Amino acid sequence: MAKKWIAGILIIFLMAIAIVQALDKKEEPTESEEAVAQGVKEGAKAPDFELKTLTGETVKLSSLKGKKVMLNFWATWCGPCKAEMPAMEQLYKEADDNVAILGVNIDPQLDVKGFVLENGITFPILLDEKDEVNTTYQIISIPTTFFIDSNGIIQDKVIGAMPHDAMVGYIEKLN
């Protein structure tokens, strides 16, 4: 009987040690984890990411520091996304070198290249193949667009399709 008591106490003691050690293990969060914890919102630093374009080039958001960035999340099946693409294309053609227009596609398993060709899109389309950027930016509705200033700070978040003049207005507000 005493052996059972000793074994029970030993098991409880070992479990307590394991729990304390598990709670003690605190790793430093990554920049993306911090951004998610704080929430991707206006006034926050835009979480960095690196994605490939349709042509296989790599685009890293932090490499665009110093530029105004329009970061748009969209899908090929999304009606409002399709509706705003011509306005984004027009803005891309009008914009100077201090503005970057990026379209992050969240359904890369579909025919994104065909969609881009059919609609005459020339601005960079990034493929979120692992659904990581979509998750980091907490996208729940598309299109969703972030306007990021030249210091990498999110100034505006717009959910839903926008006309050209609204896009221009948000870009002009950025520093």
pTM of the full predicted structure?
0.79
What total of structural domains would you count in the chain? 1
Domain residues for the domain of 142 are 32-173
For residue 23, is it within any domain?
A: no
For residue 68, being part of any structural domain is answered with yes
Please report, for the domain that includes residue 64, its CATH number: 3.40.30.10
For residue 155, tell me if it sits in a domain.
yes
Which helix (DSSP H) or strand (DSSP E) does residue 15 occupy?
A: helix 2-24
E strand or H helix that includes residue 59: strand 58-60
Contact between 98 and 150 under an 8 Å Cβ cutoff? The reply is: yes
Residue 6 included in any domain: no
Per-residue pLDDT of the chain in tens (175 residues, 90 and over written 9)? 777 778 777 778 777 777 777 776 555 555 545 544 445 889 999 999 999 999 999 999 999 999 999 999 999 999 999 999 999 999 999 999 999 999 999 999 999 999 999 999 999 999 999 999 999 999 999 999 999 999 999 999 999 999 999 999 999 999 9
Domain assignment present for residue 12? The answer is no
Burial of 154 (C-beta count, 10 Å sphere; 0-12/13-18/19+): buried
CA-angle at 78, arms to 63 and 143, nearest 5°? 45
State the DSSP H helix or E strand holding residue 105, giving kind and residue range, or none if neither.
strand 99-105
pLDDT at 36: 47
Radius of gyration of the chain (CA): 23
Domain assignment of residue 71, yes or no:
yes
Sign of CA dihedral 136, 139, 143, 147: negative
Residue 107 covered by a domain: yes
